[in-house]
Structure 1
Amino acid sequence: MTPDTVTLGQRLRSAREAAGLTQDDVAARFGIKRVSVTQWESDTTKPALARLPELAALLNTDMEWLLNSQGTPPTPAPKVEKPRQPRTPIIPGKDLVGNRDLPIYAAAMGGEGHMIVTFEAIDWVKRPAVLQNVRGGYGILVRGESMIPAYWPGDTALVNPHLQPARDTDAVFFHTPPKEQGDEEAIIKRLVGINDRDWTLEQYRPARTFSESRIDWPVCHRVVGKYNAR
């Protein structure tokens, strides 16, 4: 018996945490309020004896261990690796189609991982298949290091401005709709969450997840591929 499993409440909490469950998970299983589970774990109240077999099974242990710390201790739940989301693909040369009619725009460094994009084409290249027949498709020469290793300075992000925002995709965000021949402040980040008010974004250097207001950054254009500068 360890110091943190002396009481029934402590053993319940220890077993629940080993099983990777929340108090809400346990409460939902028994159709009770979460506060009841909190009271069990703080030894304010005790679960009904009739519930112990199901509780022990849920927590990967047995009744004897819950009651007196004897018998089979909790078995930690196996860790499930979060599947890696597909990252923006590098477009190989064999996937280039059509005429050299895809505009590439330059970007200058801005503050806090921002870029200043100049919407006057510095080059025109063949379209990748993912942007074939996409009106308004374009590329941006990436500047800055906040998205390394997904994008290195000099890589070209290929953008479809008509796709809806989607979680776990890369996107370019603008303060205002891009205008031909104009300069716009932009950020390129991983979109990991969306609600009515905010974008939840991820960058890699330095690694952080943060929110930006959708009022401040209303325009979201999906990145569908990249040309690797290296």
Structure 2
Amino acid sequence: MYDKLKQECVQAIAYELPQPILNTLYDKLFSNLHGQKRFHDDHYQNNIIKSNALAQAEYFSIMDAVDSALKHDDRYSLKPTHPAGGHFPQIELNDLILIPRRSVSCQEWQKANYLKQLAKNNQKLNTQLDWLSQSKNKDKILVIMDVSYLDGTLYIQYLIPDNRLNSILVNINHDEVIQEFNKPINVKHKINPVAKLKKTLKQLNKKVG
């Protein structure tokens, strides 16, 4: 089931996210994270201090990159956390909620109340076939845009967690989504890729839940 589920996710993300958005996000993320790495390498001598400072800087650099790339896009918003005190970037598409975040473990996800709330939708996924006409679909799939920068390379993965944030159901590399844009348009895939994905995820959640 994993291969089928992954392919449906790739098709759905490529359907929902135009390539120019992905390219702009990639460039902004690379620029911010590359700059932070150089700054911290130049200004911190103690590796422990540098590691902690860089982690904080990367967290806000990712938020800034998303804000800079999408500030004029109505689908983007900087959401407040509950309880109050922080914010997180959210890109709300027709059937996906994309949350860009610094790469961390599932255990760290579970500390974020907003992720726990959004992940509940990955349990309540419906199987409606007319999803394209549902502009206010409440059961949007949570996709975590996992971002990391290592040795001069930017890594982006699109992760769909289970509804309890205990594990990752689908792990998609950024390049796999980009490659999808280069494939000939398959009408069957473009009709309702998210509807198929929702049905598959619902079946898988029953197994892991």
TM-score band w.r.t. shorter chain: under 0.3
TM-score by length of 1: 0.21
TM-score, reference length from structure 2: 0.22
Higher-strand-fraction structure: 1
User: Greater share of helix residues, 1 or 2?
Assistant: 2
Query: Larger C-alpha radius of gyration, 1 or 2?
Result: 1
